Amino acid sequence: MTSTFLSLPVELLLDISRLALVESRPSVLSTVCKDFTNVVNAALYHTVTLDNARRSALFLQTTKSHLRLLQNIRHLVVTADDLKQQSWAAIWCMLPQASGLLSLTLEDGSQVKQLASFLGERTLDFFSSITLREFSDVPSSPRSYIGSPLTRLRVCTPSDVWFSPSTILATFACPPQLTHLQLARRINGNEDNDAVFTAEIKGILETYPELRALTVSLYEPTWPTTTEEADVEASHIWGQLREIGDDRLKVVRGQYEDWMTSPWASECCV
């Protein structure tokens, strides 16, 4: 039977929910009615950001005894730099319960191997977007991906170890329905690797029919040879990439502090 609360107009429901979340604690709101509790949980857990070990521990402790809360998560962002292996193991263990997860953002590039393993063993029906600060690890062999195809993949900053675009894509089973891709490279690097990078970018544009946007972020060298700011737009690889001449390709100057800002933010779904 539908409750009286859910029979109210949608706009009124939203106004009540917003005011309640601002003025009251979730523990108090949970006493109103079950339906209202579900609405509150859906709002609170829509986007979960774990930016330190303490917050991560509290989240894992809460959801361990209330697994249904995980079904509300649509976007999970893990930027904590002080997580122990035990906490990471708990995160990967709970993720299969987040059946409505749409996107995952990870700052720790060393978790790529675990991410690839996770995607190769479990299905999340709606999961379609991955954002990595960097790609700094790779599985010993490519995994097949049994979930719904990835449509968005972002590798926002270059790692200290060279990985070609094809290696990165192979880690995620070369998602055929990819529509948005972001990769990163430092300027003034190994010119042979620059040539491989440029050739593979061109190949990606030619072989991924669904691809609508490919952003390449170019960064200054880790160890600059002078104290002057490097001119990224005057670099050799900038020129190589611009010569590809594909309207879907966007070459931009990378900023480490802005790595989480999506170049396609205006196109992102809920």
On whether residue 262 sits in a domain, the answer given is: no
Q: Does residue 153 share a domain with residue 77?
A: no
Q: Does residue 239 share a domain with residue 107?
A: yes
Query: What's the rounded mean pLDDT across residues 52-76?
Result: 93
On whether residue 230 sits in a domain, the answer given is: yes
On whether residue 110 sits in a domain, the answer given is: yes
Using a pLDDT cut of 70, give the percent of the chain over it: 81
Q: Does residue 50 share a domain with residue 34?
A: no
Q: Does residue 247 share a domain with residue 153?
A: yes
Total structural domains in the chain? 3
On whether residue 264 sits in a domain, the answer given is: no
Answer yes or no: is pLDDT of 92 > 70: yes
- Determine whether 134 is exposed, middle or buried from the number of CB atoms within 10 Å of its CB (0-12, 13-18, 19+): buried
Q: Does residue 21 share a domain with residue 148?
A: no
Q: Does residue 169 share a domain with residue 50?
A: no
Nearest-angstrom CA–CA distance, 15 and 167: 48
Q: Does residue 78 share a domain with residue 35?
A: no
Other C-beta atoms closer than 10 Å to the C-beta of 94 total 17
| pLDDT (tens digit per residue) in 162-212 | 999 999 998 888 888 999 999 999 999 899 999 999 999 999 999 998 999
| Enclosing domain of residue 197 | 102-255
Contacts of 117 (CB under 8 A, 6+ apart): 139, 143
Q: Does residue 115 share a domain with residue 59?
A: no
Q: Does residue 169 share a domain with residue 229?
A: yes
